[in-house]
Structure 1
Amino acid sequence: MAPGFPPGLGQNEEKKQLGISVEDAGGDMTVVGPVGQGTVRIEGIVSEVLPMVVESLIDSAYVTPLAARKMASALPPLSRLIGELRRQPLPSAAFYEYFKLDSASWVEVEVASLPGLYRLPRINGSGYFLRTASDIADGTKANVWAELGKHLAANMLGRPLLAYNSGTNILRVPLGAELPGLYGRAAVLASGQLPVSERRLNSISYTDIHPETASILIGKLTS
């Protein structure tokens, strides 16, 4: 798959020529997304042959076989981020809200005495923060954004907020818990499509993720 329209592939005739070259090699080419801003998706051609098929139209620097898998492999284990977050004193508040992993919902608590993700009420300026057992002992917290905080809390407490179906190649997370940062980018890169909200299932789906890519990504998010 070649993400985006690289230089030299801006005209319809060139896209047509690329499609013919791919078809002649036994593959299939589709364009996913808005015209001029979509993703060229090439399937049915082994990675070793793809650069030769497209070399007359696309610079080889833009051809990266197994890009999502390579990106997922390069990411650090999510747990490494927990210790690298900057710590600050815990602010006082009349109450806090605690993120319950089992129901992916918020509950009001009087004290922030459990490891996990919290958010401050708006009257106290709002904001999300993570607390480990060490933070609780030291009276500190680490500021995070919501999606990252949810997955860090899940990692820390051994309750992953994701599920993968190898039969459909779909990776699901709860609504409001999109995969954070480059972890989400790797999942999107696998299909070239943005994740889909499914309110009926209270989830967000990342589609067309190969089992090996999913295994690597899940391993990084849970270790």
Structure 2
Amino acid sequence: MEYHRITSIQDPLFFKMHELMKEVFPKEEVLDYELWKEPLEDPDIRVFVAVLNGQVVGATEYRYYKDWNIAMTDFTIIGQPGLSIGRFLAQNRSADLQILARENGKELFGMFAEIYDPYQVSHYEFGTVKPMDPFVRREVLSHLGYKRLDLAYVHPSWNNDGEAVKGLDLCFMPSNDSVYELPSQLVADFLTTYYTVLPNKPAEWLEMIKRLSEKETVHLLPL
């Protein structure tokens, strides 16, 4: 399997990745094809696909924030079972992030991720690939070391229509297992920066950021 970085919508593998995204994610979670041009060309956004026999069988997008020494996993896609795609992506992503952190003179503090909570929502419009089942994904991410932030989380819809997307947790995987809380301002600043690309923020999201800014810390809870 090859770990291949995509930096242009002209890359033939990007079309295959985008089709795979539409198969496994709800419509409101998938950015339109043409809108990927600038993100792919952004050197800080890292989009990689797992390629097997010329086919995209998995993908992951993530980014590293030098100022905070943290990362964010935007998504991870496993397109087929029985190929250890999840482990392949996780290992290669971790190795890449460690290199970026060392180039920044640090050890990676940790990584954020939004994780679907199937205990909140009875049904998700996902594809039929079993490794992408929200229950499976949640348990795998728990095994990796992710913990959920103690807050009622919403995020702006990627349709940029001002709607709030619910049914997820914001989680964090600290590199040091002894970390059980995060500075609230770090979380607020990170989310504000992360969602700058979406100008139409829902009222629920703005209220969440306001509440975060009024606290000192956010606890990390078991996932």
What's the TM-score, normalizing by structure 1? Answer: 0.23
